[in-house]
Chains A and B, each alone.
Chain A
């Protein structure tokens, strides 16, 4: 049977080689050395700016049992846990553009993860519980006008992107549950949603209208293209790709053209998020086996 495998692999190997050559020709757009923002080395996930860049919220793998939401004051770089008394993992933070809403996930039982939507002015919370059994939400994103939000949730052997009102009502599936659909991100004007889907085989980036119509594929690689984020002006996207052999950060035009590579390191560079100035990205980078937040200055 190993011979059978060998017979079937040349096309894959050739494809990988082609991708590698394409990668070598990609422009590197990082302007200066990255600036390290944290120094504890713990695993971190999904940084996101809030309050016009005044602070940065991220997920801290604080100990082997707990994810915690932590916020960094952007000026002082001091960090603090958002919910000191949280007894369970909390993760996947998202904010509305005006900062009035904060959404995140909270483990509420054995493989049970609820979606929390908080009005930051009134402190009122809507908690959307998972279904019975093993069940949980992923990757919330709030519309720029705070009229509704998106999240990913299991649906018929796949993972669909759903839309709900900010009160948790009116759940509507957008992506047809074809494969895994996850990491939705609104364009700044709210007219497009960038997301990742396996509908064509492996993880690729797609865009759609906020009602789920007009889905278009933006990337094409035999390896993961994931976690897309629109730039503040909506003209570019940043995302993570494994096309060079490990997780690296790339930028492209919003339609997927003019791919440019931002990071180049044998260790992992992941979870990019745009600084509101559009001239920097923040990411989680693994260096010497530790994971910290880094600020990446970009070329114009």
Chain B
């Protein structure tokens, strides 16, 4: 089932969707997405772009590096944690027993164990992780995806930057500042889509079009009047942003091939099962479909919220409490299955050479177990996984100290992450300078 805005069309029956298609054909705008012009490309040179698509898997809330990909079995009990370690396919490299599938696939990605960043909290740490810069002083720098979106422009049938979650990523009630375009403007914000654990895809922007939903308006003249009236009903200052969202949403509805990217029912039952019946699993499958649709940048969020067990919030990786039980019961089984399936799929479908996959949280968690027998925030050391775009795989870059507290090799910063992503997407140093983004950033040379 595809949930567009606040109405649903049953793809198995085809009735709603077919009706909508027939109706949309009568709408006189005749707008192809290429004609919108709301997001125009800067200088684009595809020749140097090793990655047509980037998938940034954001483990929002910050997973413990010691309990996942950087275990310290020889540390003392104040640090070590309760999990056993298992060998990976990479000689000498071990994970905890919580990630057996990813351990078996370590030849498909390169692991970095020497990340650091500067912000200790989620809102500010999230902004640094997604933009490379702290949120203050203002203005906020753009999300890596917004930079790629501006560089590539709106050339396909789909928007150039997607964020997959059931809403904008939040810490409590606060939106992460670098969720979108920042100082470049909201026109470079991501297009939001969400998936349920059973694969229903939700496109919140299409809720804007409820008043012009052909399923509700059978009289064509009324429909046209409604369409004409929408801009006037909005504040002029907000109109441009809204107009861009509206146009994108309109394009999705009116273009059947664009819309197919969101229809997970087109996947075989076996494929959907491989990703697992979870929000993250089905979101990862949606990300793979967006890669096939050649969307330039996809931010695949593990959850919308960071909070692990808080009324009204999705379960993120912020495990100040119950760290060990939440990881073993819920987070790691979901992540291990879904991300492994995603890697397999990207490889098996021959997409890996043109796709860059980066997986990481905003920081790590305290190596020393806290007073609640859990782990708190730790921006001084954490990990990431990199695959695709011609990068070598099956390696470990960087190393943390004996307790996982600090890198003992050259620290890798979020600005370096963003710069490397941009470089692989064809946004070279000249383009970055012209756009005035990622200033001072260096590429992670060790990856090449």
Contacts and interface: CB of A to CB of B under 8 A. Distances in A.
B73 to A, nearest CB: 7
Contacts, number: 135
Interface in B262-284: 272-279, 281
B306 to A, nearest CB: 10
A179 B82 contact: yes
A38 interface: no
A9 B337 contact: no
Contacts of A136: 309, 321-322
Interface centre among B97, B100, B304 (most CB of A within 10 A): B97
Give chain B's interface residue range (CB within 8 Å of chain A). Answer: 35 or more
Contact of B172 (A1, A110, A134, A288): A110
A61 B100 CA distance: 23
A1 B320 CA distance: 31
B315 A64 contact: yes
Interface residues of A, number: 57
Interface in A1-30: 1-3, 5-6, 8-9, 12-13, 16
B314 interface: yes
A135 B276 CA distance: 31
Nearest to B78: A157
B74 A8 contact: yes
Contacts of B333: 268, 286
Nearest to A267: B337
Contacts of A222: 84
Contact of A43 (B172, B278, B325): B278
B329 interface: yes
B77 A201 contact: yes
A136 B319 CA distance: 12
A83 interface: no
B277 A88 contact: no
A42 interface: yes
Interface string B296-335: 0000000110011111111100001110110011100100
Interface string B129-166: 00000000000000000000000000000000000001
Interface stretch (B15-23, B216-224, B370-378): B370-378
A287 to B, nearest CB: 9
Contact of B330 (A43, A63, A159): A43
B277 A290 contact: yes
Contact of A2 (B80, B92, B308, B369): B92
Interface string A220-256: 0111101000000000000000100110000000000
A13 to B, nearest CB: 6
A36 B333 CA distance: 21
Nearest to B400: A1
Contact of A111 (B77, B320, B337): B320
Contact of B166 (A64, A138, A246): A64
Contact of B373 (A180, A245, A290): A180
A242 B82 CA distance: 13
A202 B87 contact: no
Contact of A289 (B82, B281, B313): B281
A137 B198 CA distance: 31
A113 B309 contact: yes
Contact of B311 (A41, A87, A158, A291): A87
Interface string B332-367: 010001000000000000000000000000000000
A148 to B, nearest CB: 23
Nearest to B372: A154
A160 to B, nearest CB: 9
Given A136-B321, A224-B97, A88 B311 contact: yes
A186 interface: no
Contacts of A107: 309-311
A154 B309 contact: no
B93 A5 contact: yes
B108 interface: no
Nearest to B312: A65
B183 interface: no
A135 B372 contact: yes
A42 B166 CA distance: 18
A272 to B, nearest CB: 14
Nearest to A197: B82
Contacts of B166: 64
B121 to A, nearest CB: 14
Contacts of A2: 91-93, 396
Interface in A178-228: 179-180, 182, 198, 201-203, 221-224, 226
A64 B372 contact: no
Contacts of A202: 82-84
A45 B326 CA distance: 12
A285 to B, nearest CB: 12
A122 interface: no
Q: Which 3 A-B pairs have the closest CB atoms?
A: A88-B311, A289-B276, A154-B372
Interface of A: 1-3, 5-6, 8-9, 12-13, 16, 41-43, 45, 61, 63-65, 87-89, 107-111, 113, 134-136, 138, 154, 156-159, 179-180, 182, 198, 201-203, 221-224, 226, 242, 245-246, 268, 286, 288-291
Interface of B: 73-74, 77-78, 80, 82-87, 91-94, 97, 100, 166, 172, 197-198, 272-279, 281, 303-304, 307-315, 320-322, 324-325, 328-330, 333, 337, 369-374, 396, 399, 408
15 contacts: A1-B408, A6-B91, A9-B94, A16-B86, A65-B313, A87-B311, A88-B311, A136-B322, A154-B373, A157-B369, A179-B77, A221-B84, A223-B84, A289-B272, A290-B276
